[in-house]
Every structure is written in structure tokens, then in C-alpha cells.
Structure 1
């Protein structure tokens, strides 16, 4: 803690960021059920695919972007490349 003492007080005095973790907690809570489901994915590869999928969805939800619109645009761009 001695190493980061100056940065900690700069963080507290700056007032730019919230000190609680409620936002992160809301998104992590949604993934708690996914941990149980990952036991039945069949392989490590599918667990990683699911983690990437949920990371993308959570990131876009936090940014206020429509996940459905994002995936529509993504799939249209992929289909045009082939």
C-alpha cells in the first residue's frame, strides 16, 4: 500500500470516479449463473467462446449501445466479406 499511497489520495481527491463497485457488480452478478452452465459446455473451447460473448454483451450494455443492433451490423459486415 505504501507504493500506491500517492495515487490513492489522488484518486480520492480528484472526484472523477465513483469509489463503489455497484456497476461492475451488476454485470458480474449476471454471469454467476453462467459459471454453473459452463460445466455442461463440453469443452474448454466453448467456455472461452461463452466468456468472450458475455464480455462483448456486458461491455456494450455498460456503454449504452444496443446489443441487438451491434450484432446485426456485425453479421452484415461478416457476410459482405465472404
Structure 2
């Protein structure tokens, strides 16, 4: 979802928040409340990898881990307990 889409949703909702603040809250939540690696959080935020060597060797998009992470974030935002699901083929 683009920043402009989020901005429109926030403006239409009459909320006193910013897109950056929303993304920052997500990043803080991942770091403080979950065990997901920072790389998964950064991928969920669609941040580019600044280190060109690391970027060249990274062959994953962390799709299964991002799906689980976003399910947990959604549950957190709605005030419910997340339902943990096992990623296909192994570990969470």
C-alpha cells in the first residue's frame, strides 16, 4: 500500500496521525513485542537494503514470515490476541 493511500485513509478518518507515525509505530511494535528479525520488519515496510552487497545476496522476500507478522499486527491493532499459524514447511 502506498504512502498516499494510507494518507487518504487517515485524512478521511479525521485522525491526528501521520503515515510516518503509523509506520514507525509498526516498526517499534515489531522490535518490542515480537521475535521477528529486523529484516522481516524492513521487508514488510518495503524498505530498500542500503548495503549493495547484502542486497545482492538476499534472495528472499520473507513472504511467509511477513504474512504471519501482518496477521499479528492486524490482531494487535484490533485489540485481539494473534492467532499463531505455522508457516508452510516448518518453523514460524
TM score, norm. by length of structure 2: 0.40
Identify which of structures 1 and 2 has the higher relative contact order when contacts are C-alpha pairs closer than 8 Å and 6+ apart.
2
Please state which structure has a larger fraction of its residues in helix: 1
Q: TM-score, normalised by structure 1?
A: 0.43
